[in-house]
Structure 1
Amino acid sequence: MAKYGMVIDLQKCAGCAACSIACKNENNVPDGIFWSHYITETRGEFPKITYTYISTLCNHCDVAPCVDACPVDPKAMYKQDDGITMHDEDSCIGCRACENACPYGVIYYNERGVAPFENWQSGEAAALTEKVGGTVIPYYNPDRAITYAGIRRENKVEKCTFCDHRVINGESPYCVVACPADARIFGDLDDPNSEISQLLSSNDSTVLLPEAGTQPNVYYIHRFDVKE
């Protein structure tokens, strides 16, 4: 069984946010919710300005506070054998304990949801609008529903799943595929011959908030040093 992780090369990353856009398209992520996001920081005073852009997503931690915090049985937030931290919408009671426990702020609460629909691609716009109760969904990827709700319900949490519906078919998460700079590398951390393992063995790497003790499986290499 593989143990999946991701490396993000910060010197290759162009800060274009293609990963965030691709994630929304692939996973039908609604407005105001970000499975793939970023941290930006501007430091200094003109003309000596430093700008930092760091892509973020669920870290799929080995010691996952979100899983520990989930109060239901069976757990709504849980670890798969392949290391992916998954969410069971049916078990989720919307208590937001996982969201509050996550030190990275990458779990989102969906207050609105989206009206249920079927076969929305067919028919004229007026008929479609009526069919979905006045809510027209301009884009929907049915592949997301292979392993997880294609459209999540209201009053539930949601987050990145490493595009597990693609991973089970031997594909990389869509953010990896969409990155124009090849800054994201996904693979098996337990395979010493995988590209991700080779990168981690030959480069210094960092994780976000190492002091949190969560043992993240998203790593950053070639981080820029900021000199005052």
Structure 2
Amino acid sequence: MTHYGMAIDKKRCIACNTCCVGCKVENNLPENMWWNRVVNEGGENPDSPSGTYPELKMSAYTLSCQHCINPACVSVCPSEATYRDAETGIVMQDLDKCIGCNLCIEACPYGVRTLQEDEPVYYTDFALGGEGAPGHIAGTVEKCTFCHHRVVNGEQPFCVEVCPARARTFGDLDDPDSDLSKLIASRECEQLQLDAGTGPSVYLLV
């Protein structure tokens, strides 16, 4: 089994939202749905610093599904719609099984799942998205898939490919010789909410 994960370099990330928009296009996400978002660690508003001049500080990172080793969403799903893919380690959502009960949304400590309540509405009258990208069904819960449809074909997640600052690195965490494993070993890292016991597969390089 491969254990895919990602590192996001907070020193490189410029909070430009390119990864968020790229994700939306590649996965043909409906209006008002985002699988990836920028979290500003500065002030209360986007692009605003914390502190008092001249001692100001601001940084950002992007937040999406953490593709946990022990995903809380999987353990609570009554229909087995949420599962960890045995081949890739990517946490997936089977929309044909999902009953939209919201238990996975409540269980996820990262707040990265979205319920598609009504029939999906799109910005264009024709489908966007890459070949094999998942569809969207009313009454189901969605989230980042690490672009599983690309990864199984040997490609990178689209957010990695389009990042202008090259702040994102994707690879196999179980392979010590992967670029991702070497990067994590060489840098100071943090993971979100480790106390939740989920074992996130996304690292923030600080």
Task: Flag whether TM exceeds 0.5 (same fold).
Answer: yes
CA 1:67–1:204 in structure 2 vs 1: closer, same or farther (change >3 Å)? same
> Is 173-182 or 202-211 further displaced after alignment?
202-211
Q: State the AA in 2 paired with 1:171.
A: E
Mapped partners of 2:138, 2:175: distance in 1: 39
| Inter-partner Cα distance in structure 2 for 1:38 and 1:142 | 23
Q: Quick one: which of 167, 179, 190 aligns to 1:195?
A: 179
Structure 1 residues 213 and 140, CA, compared in 2 at 3 Å: closer, same or farther? same
Cα displacement (A) at 1:45: 2.9
Distance 2:171 2:138 in 1: 32
Which position in structure 1 is the counterpart of 2:46? none
Partner residue in 2 for 1:13? 13
Whether the aligned pair in 1 keeps the contact of 2:10 and 2:59 (CA below 8 Å) is no
Kindly report which structure 2 residues correspond to 1:33-52, keeping only aligned pairs within 5 A, or say none. Answer: 33-41=33-41, 42=43, 43-52=50-59
Contact 1:5–1:217 (Cα < 8 Å) also in 2: yes
- Residue in 2 that maps onto 1:122: none
In the alignment, structure 1 residue 158 sits paired with structure 2 residue 158: no
**Does structure 1 conserve the Cα–Cα contact (< 8 Å) formed by 2:22 and 2:158?**
yes
Larger Rg: 1
Assess, with a 3 A threshold, how the Cα gap between structure 1 residues 39 and 142 changes in structure 2: closer, same or farther.
closer
Q: What is the CA deviation profile of residues 20-58 of structure 1, one whole-angstrom value per residue up to 9, with x for unaligned ones?
A: 000000001122221111211312234433223111110
Spell out, residue by residue over 1:30-87, the C-alpha distance to the aligned partner (whole angstroms, 9 max, x if none): 2222111121131223443322311111000001000011012xx1000011210000
Residue 80 of structure 1 is matched in structure 2 by 85
2:128 corresponds to 1:140 = yes
Number of residue pairs matched by the alignment: 198
1:136 deviation in Å? Answer: 4.8
Q: CA–CA distance in 2 between the matches of 1:94 and 1:143?
A: 26
TM-score of the superposed pair, with normalisation by structure 2: 0.90
Q: Which runs of 5+ in 1 are unaligned?
A: 117-134, 224-228
Q: 1:219 to 1:136 in 2, by over 3 A?
A: closer
CA contact (8 A) 1:25 1:139 kept: no
Is residue 97 of structure 2 the alignment partner of residue 113 of structure 1? no
SS of 1:8's equivalent in the other structure is: strand
Report the Cα distance in structure 1 between the residues aligned to 2:119 and 2:204, rounded to whole angstroms: 33
Identity of aligned pairs, percent? 43
In 2, the alpha carbon distance for the partners of 1:180 and 1:69 equals 37
1:101 offset after TM fit, Å? 0.5
5+ residue gaps, structure 2: 44-49
Measured against aligned partners, the alpha-carbon deviations of 1:78-102 in whole angstroms (never above 9, x if no partner) come to 0011210000001000001001110
1:219 equivalent in structure 2: 203
Selected match of 1:167 from 133, 151, 160: 151
Q: What's the CA shift for 1:113?
A: 2.8
Given candidates 60, 78, 81, the residue that maps to 1:71 is: 78
SS in 2 for 1:175: helix
Q: 1:60 aligns with which of 63, 67, 72?
A: 67
In 2, the alpha carbon distance for the partners of 1:171 and 1:142 equals: 12
The residue number in structure 2 matching 1:93 is: 99
Per-residue CA deviations over 1:109-136 (Å, capped at 9, x if unaligned) read 11123279xxxxxxxxxxxxxxxxxx95
User: Post-superposition shift, 1:142?
Assistant: 5.0
Structure 2 Cα separation of the partners of residues 184 and 4 of structure 1:
13
Query: In the alignment, is the contact (CA less than 8 A) between 1:5 and 1:189 conserved in 2?
Result: yes
